[in-house]
Each structure stands twice: as structure tokens, then as C-alpha cells.
Amino acid sequence: MEHLLTLLDEAFDKKSWHGPNLKGAIRGLSAAQAAWRPAPGRHNIWELVLHAAYWKYVVRRKLTGARRRSFAVPGSNWFARTGEPNVATWKKDVALLAAEHKQLRQAVAGLSAANDDQLKLIRGAAAHDLYHAGQIQLLKRLCPLA
């Protein structure tokens, strides 16, 4: 379990060899930067943050066998963030991501052992964070507001 927790943490908020993890990729971003969209119909950083939070929720639910309850934001998978960027809402959504990571971490720590399906979910959750951290790094480079 310690190895799995280390994987999750390095992908989200602990130092790792590869560079910025998900939390590091969004550190210091303004609401305007997070809401900037590279092209019509493309996701922005803000939407990636909520997407990552949602999938942490889904993985936790699958690991614990918890019944589906409503996620903190209405909808599922992708959550549109359009219109004028709101600083308070951006901070709230970043806090949601951190809270969902903490809850996922607690669920993994509570497992006495993990079966193959659970191992795949946990490794997948870490890979998912890193995948979107890379996307966010690219969007930050493209963003004219930086």
C-alpha cells in the first residue's frame, strides 16, 4: 500500500523526478489563466482540474464500494467553465481537487490488500493526474495571459 500511496502522491503533490505534478502544474495560476481556452471547443485548465477531481471521486467510490452519490459539482466527467473567470470559484474548485485527492488517499490507505482491479484503478489514477499535468503545462505555455 505504501508504494501505491507514493505513486498517487508523486503524481499529485509530492516531489518526483519528472517535473511538475498536477498540483504543481496549477500552482500560482490565476482564474483568468485557468479559464483561458486555446480554441473554441477545447478544454481549459479549469475544466481539466474538475475532470481530475471527478475521476479521483470515481476511483475512490469504486475502491470502497460506496454507492454513487452526487459529485460536488453537478454533472459528470467534464464540467464546463465558461464566462467571466471568478477567483472565488477557481479557489473552491482547486480546493475540491485537493479534497478529493485526500479522500482517495485515505481510501487506498484503508485497504488491507488490493486485488488486480483495484491495483489498476490506483495506478490509473496516478497516471491520469500526470497525463493532465502535462496537458496543463502545455496550455500554460500557450496561454497569452502568462
Residue pLDDT, tens place only, 79-99: 999 889 999 999 999 999 999
Count of domains forming the chain: 1
* Cβ density class 27-51: b for 16+ within 10 Å, e for less: eebebebbbbbeeeeebbbbbbbbb
Helix then strand count (H, E) for the chain reads 6, 0
CA atoms of 56 and 41, how far apart (whole Å): 24
- Most distant CA atoms of the chain, gap in Å: 48
In this prediction, residue 127 carries a pLDDT of 97
Taking residues 117-133, what's their average pLDDT? 97
Q: What is the mean pLDDT of residues 127-133?
A: 98
Mean pLDDT of 26-49: 97
**Residue 136 structural domain:** 2-142
- Give the confidence band of 70 by pLDDT, cuts at 50, 70, 90: confident
What is residue 12's predicted lDDT score, i.e. its pLDDT? 98
Amino acid at the residue 89: T
Q: Range with the lowest mean pLDDT among 41-45, 73-77, 103-107?
A: 73-77
pTM over 0.75: yes
What's the CATH code of the domain at 69?
Answer: 1.20.120
For residues 118-144, give the mean pLDDT. Answer: 97
What does the pLDDT read at residue 66? 87
pLDDT digits (tens, 9 = 90+) for 23-37: 999 999 999 999 999
Q: Would you state the pLDDT for residue 17? A: 87
pLDDT greater than 90 at residue 55: yes
Give the count of alpha carbons within 13 A of 33, CB side only: 18
Task: Check whether 54 has a pLDDT greater than 80.
Answer: yes
Q: Note every long-range contact of 10-18, with CB atoms under 8 Å and residues 24 or more positions apart, other chains counting.
A: 10/126, 11/125, 11/126, 11/127, 11/129, 11/130, 11/133, 12/101, 12/126, 12/129, 13/98, 13/101, 18/130
Instruction: Give the mean pLDDT of 103-107.
Output: 97
**Could you write out the DSSP letters of every residue in 87-107?**
HHHHHHHHHHHHHHHHHHHHH
